[in-house]
Structure 1
Amino acid sequence: MKLESTLPERPGFLFVVPAFNLFALLLVFFLLGPSFVSQSGVAVELPVSRFQLERQAFETVVTVRDDGPRGVSEFDPPTYWLEHEQVTLGELAERLDARRSSDTSPATTVLLRVDKGVPVEIQREVAEIALQKGLRVYLLGRPEGSRDEPEATD
């Protein structure tokens, strides 16, 4: 006695399941990929640096931004940013102190992103404010050989 199936063969579903898995993997990659490489703060043109910094535990990003061509005065002050919020130099000191004493996530490190056109004296002044609060300060730069355009941030 020979047993035969009366149903027609349809092997198409054997090709659909792996294609669906591949599609799901690509979807997850494109949705979660940018979150692994994003930086906080404001876009600035960083100077070139040969050193790389490992990810810090409780970092606070402070950005000092040169807002373009000078107007009437050659000494227009730059803008200061704490993460994504613009602050004055006095507010920066107060907020760094508040973050240092926070119970939920106490800041221990300041990542200082300084625009290429900002004078060194201003950079030093911001670093000293953070150091007086007992924070470690790291000055960020862009890798050698990278483009001169500002990097995109979220």
Structure 2
Amino acid sequence: MKLETTLNERPGFLHALPLFDLFMLVTLLLFIGPMFLSQSGVSVEVPSSQFQMQRYRESIVVTLGPGEVEPSLHVGRQAVSLRELQEKLDALKTDEVMSRAIVLLKTDIGTTVGMERKVSEIILKSGFRLALVGRSEIPTELQDPAISPAE
């Protein structure tokens, strides 16, 4: 007994389905991919604040990590030392667009106030405007009682 197929010889729609699946997968990855990227490339835990910060067109992100003697310090994605920070800011000050920029200082919770003040004074001495960045605070009525604020 010979078995015969009842389908046409070339069922085109069956060949198109894997291509459609592949197209949807690539599209999904392109839309979701940027959500997993960190903006400055350096991860710090900033303290919460009840004030929302506006977006700035020209901004320089300085990230200050924890450390007593020599903290983790980044300008954008580039790691710098305290001594190199002044030179880097002076180099950015010569650019016409960046001379009008504001410096956004992201400070980790574990950083001492003295170190934050020292970096702030270096930034202000360079002639830039300064803004301290913090997390937005969740209103108390929206907080989950099972999660403590220290987490």
Is the shorter-chain TM-score for this pair beyond 0.5, marking a shared fold?
yes
Identical positions, percent: 36
User: Within 5 Å, which residues of 2 pair with 1:58-73?
Assistant: 58-66=58-66
> What is the deviation of 1:60?
0.9
Name the TM-score, length of structure 1 as normaliser: 0.65
Q: CA RMSD in A?
A: 3.3
1:16 counterpart residue number:
none
Mapped to 2, the partners of 1:38 and 1:55 lie a distance apart of: 17
Would the alpha carbon gap of residues 25 and 38 (structure 1) be closer, same or farther in structure 2, given more than 3 Å must change? Answer: farther
Would the alpha carbon gap of residues 87 and 140 (structure 1) be closer, same or farther in structure 2, given more than 3 Å must change? Answer: same
1:100 pairs with one of 82, 88, 93: 93
1:39 counterpart residue number:
39
Would the alpha carbon gap of residues 131 and 76 (structure 1) be closer, same or farther in structure 2, given more than 3 Å must change? Answer: closer
Q: Which has the higher contact order (CA 8 A, sep 6+)?
A: 1
> What is the deviation of 1:77?
2.9
Q: Gaps spanning 5+ residues in structure 1: where?
A: 1-12, 14-19, 68-74, 150-154
Matched, 1:138 2:131: yes
Letter in 2 for 1:60: I
User: Within 5 Å, which residues of 2 pair with 1:1-150?
Assistant: 27-28=26-27, 30-35=29-34, 38-66=38-66, 75-103=68-96, 105-107=97-99, 108-145=101-138
Name the TM-score, length of structure 2 as normaliser: 0.66
